[in-house]
Amino acid sequence: MRELDAKTITENVAQMCKEAAYYLPEDVYQALKKGRETEKSPAGQNVLDQIIKNAEIAKAEDRPYCQDTGMTIVFLELGQDLHIVGGDLEQAVNDGIAKGYTEGYLRKSVVSEPLFNRVNTQNNTPGVIYTKIVPGDKLKITVEPKGFGSENKGGVKMLVPADGVEGVKKAVMDIILHASMNPCPPTVIGVGIGGTMDKACLYSKVALTRSVDSHNPMPEYAKLEDELLDLINQTGIGPQLGGSTTCLGVNIEWGPTHIAGLPVAVTICCHACRHKTRTL
Amino acid sequence: MAEPIKIHTPFTEEMSKKFHIGDAVLITGEIYAARDAAHKKMCEALAKGEKLPIDWHDKMVYYLGPTPAKPGDPIGSCGPTTSGRMDAYTPTMLDQGIKGMIGKGSRSKEVIESMKKNHVTYFAAVGGAAALIAKSVKKYEVLAYPELGPEALARLTVEDFPAICVIDCEGNSLYEVNQEKYRTLKGY
């Protein structure tokens, strides 16, 4: 059986946290440049210029491009024939988060309890870790640090089958219009359709690990992605100060659901759509 | 975009009244960082009749929680956080003499009413432009609540800090005007 040292996991997670905070994904950078070319509002053009310049400074100087370096979501796909040695898996991941956020001068934004005391844990742990057991002997790690200016504006709607495609569009647009300029547009939108309430939310998070110019493999969903992108870019919200570049991409992920249900979840991500993947 | 207007702090009522929505500004002087946790602490102190750590008269508040500074730098990345989260505390704080707010995003009706009453101007910095904004910050000093880490109350010495007037002290909103102007959406 193949063995993987927990320290290797820690080291890789630490590096991925730093890289995610410093280097805006190339697909997002290109989408911002494309948006700048077509943006109609002068104020919006100015905002896009600043966001593009910001990404370039961050990359050149190894600095976080946003001060909200997020709560760290980590997706693990653990091969069932891989044996982790020298420590436990979740601890290794959390150690990596603590190391990355401390060494990388990233902001520690996690409180240990949400309502009564809200004490900062000082090292951004724990991460939100999802582990899936898969065939094989590898460990695939995806780190998705999620900022909360945009996270606070997401939502979930439990539709019924009769609501259909129009119902899904309306549910997504209600959330987008309510969020307005607050989640730092231009945004990337993750939509999860199906499953249970919680699973739909998870699909919407997984959707954000895809590049902004990608499409769902099923043509009907790919078409819906384009239609939603078009609708969101008609809202006038624009790059924060009004305009035509509100959204850079809509990614939909879906899964089986109950005969009575049609859950729809929307995760809004600001342009700092961070995700890094490595396979060990 | 017109040439930005240079502002030197302190930011007085007389200065605040001059700004209109869409005015780009470059701020030089001192601005004060506070966000959710510091606002909560200050409002709790006021409710108990205690004195605040600083006199907010003619000051500008910046809704910010920066990343830690790398060695040799005055501050880490330092873009604005969502102002709306401070709305519950803002009317109380504006009554303390604040004349300018810097953040991002919409404000509640109660905040806008308080802005009109107190002649306060609300400026937006570009959300997410945190590494760029850091270039205009020369000094960062924690003044109170150090236990809050990035949420501590702090003084920033800034030079040509870029922002734009989004809600003026008469309650006009650039967000509303511009969204209406560029909206082509029908039926939602």
pLDDT digits (tens, 9 = 90+) for A133-181: 999 999 999 999 999 999 999 999 999 999 999 999 999 999 999 999 9
Provide the residue-wise pLDDT of chain B in tens; the chain has 188 residues: 578 999 999 999 999 999 999 999 999 999 999 999 999 999 999 999 999 999 999 999 999 999 999 999 999 999 999 999 999 999 999 999 999 999 999 999 999 999 999 999 999 999 999 999 999 999 999 999 999 999 999 999 999 999 999 999 999 999 999 999 999 999 88
Q: Which helix (H) or strand (E) holds B60?
A: strand B60-62
Is 80 exceeded by the pLDDT of residue A247? yes
For residue B134, the chain A residues in CB contact (below 8 A) are 63
pLDDT score for B1: 59
For B128, the closest of A51, A182, A243 (CB atoms) is A51
For B128, the closest of A173, A238, A271 (CB atoms) is A271
Task: Write out pLDDT tens, residues A76-121.
Answer: 999 999 999 999 999 999 999 999 999 999 999 999 999 999 999 9
Beta strands in chain A (DSSP E): 2-5, 71-79, 82-85, 128-134, 139-146, 155-159, 187-195, 247-257, 262-269, 276-279
Q: Which helix (H) or strand (E) holds A100?
A: helix A89-103
Q: Which of B85, B46, B41, B44 is nearest to B63 (CA)?
A: B85
Task: Write out pLDDT tens, residues A16-74.
Answer: 999 999 999 999 999 999 999 999 999 999 999 999 999 999 999 999 999 999 999 99
Token digits of residue A29: 């950078």
Give which of B1, B178, B180 to mutate to test A binding, by max A Cβ within 10 Å.
Answer: B178
Chain B nearest CA to A141, separation (Å):
25
Amino acid (one-letter) located at A123: N
pLDDT score for B18: 97
Contacts (Cβ under 8 Å, ≥6 apart) of A223: none
Is 80 exceeded by the pLDDT of residue A127? yes
Q: Is A4 on the interface with B (CB under 8 A)?
A: no
- Helix H segments across A152-218? 164-179, 197-207
Give which of B77, B140, B164 to mutate to test A binding, by max A Cβ within 10 Å.
Answer: B77
Cβ–Cβ below 8 Å for A63 and B124: no
Alpha-carbon distance of A119 to A110, in angstroms, equals 8
Mode of pairing for the β-strands spanning B60-62 and B24-33 = parallel
Alpha-carbon distance of A231 to A235, in angstroms, equals 7
Q: Is A122 on the interface with B (CB under 8 A)?
A: yes
Please indicate whether residue B20 is annotated as part of the active site: no
- CA-CA distances (angstroms) from residue A266 to A22, A151, A187, A204, B161? 26, 10, 12, 6, 34
Cβ–Cβ below 8 Å for A53 and B132: yes
Alpha-carbon distance of A212 to B151, in angstroms, equals 32
* pTM score: 0.95
pLDDT score for B2: 74
For B128, the closest of A65, A152, A173 (CB atoms) is A65
For residue B132, the chain A residues in CB contact (below 8 A) are 50, 53-54, 57
Positive or negative torsion for Cα B92, B94, B97, B98: positive
Is 70 exceeded by the pLDDT of residue A227? yes
Q: Is B184 on the interface with A (CB under 8 A)?
A: yes
Q: What is the DSSP string of B132-165?
A: HHHTTEEEEEEEE-GGGGGGSEEEEEEEEEEEEE
Mode of pairing for the β-strands spanning B5-8 and B24-33 = parallel
Q: Is B86 on the interface with A (CB under 8 A)?
A: no
Cβ–Cβ below 8 Å for B128 and A108: no
Q: Which helix (H) or strand (E) holds A107?
A: none
Cβ–Cβ below 8 Å for A105 and B67: yes
Is 70 exceeded by the pLDDT of residue A4? yes
pLDDT score for A251: 98
For residue A241, the chain B residues in CB contact (below 8 A) are 124, 164, 166, 174-175, 178
Chain A nearest CA to B82, separation (Å):
6
Q: Which of B80, B117, B107 is nearest to B173 (CA)?
A: B107
Contacts (Cβ under 8 Å, ≥6 apart) of A154: A175, A179, A204, A265, A266, A267, A268
Instruction: Find the residue in A nearest to B162 (Cα).
Output: A50
Chain B nearest CA to A18, separation (Å):
12
For A181, the closest of B76, B150, B175 (CB atoms) is B175
Chain A nearest CA to B26, separation (Å):
14
Instruction: Please pick, among B20, B39, B57, B119, the residue that the annotation labels catalytic.
Output: B39
State the residue for tokens 């899936």.
A132
For residue A244, the chain B residues in CB contact (below 8 A) are 182
A222 in Cβ contact with A215 (< 8 Å): yes
Phi/psi region, residue B128 (left: phi>0; alpha: psi -120 to 50; beta: rest), is left
Q: Is B96 on the interface with A (CB under 8 A)?
A: no
Alpha-carbon distance of A128 to A120, in angstroms, equals 16
Q: Which of A13, A20, A19, A22 is nearest to A97 (CA)?
A: A13
For residue B76, the chain A residues in CB contact (below 8 A) are 63-64, 67, 105, 107
Q: Which of B25, B24, B150 is nearest to B78 (CA)?
A: B150
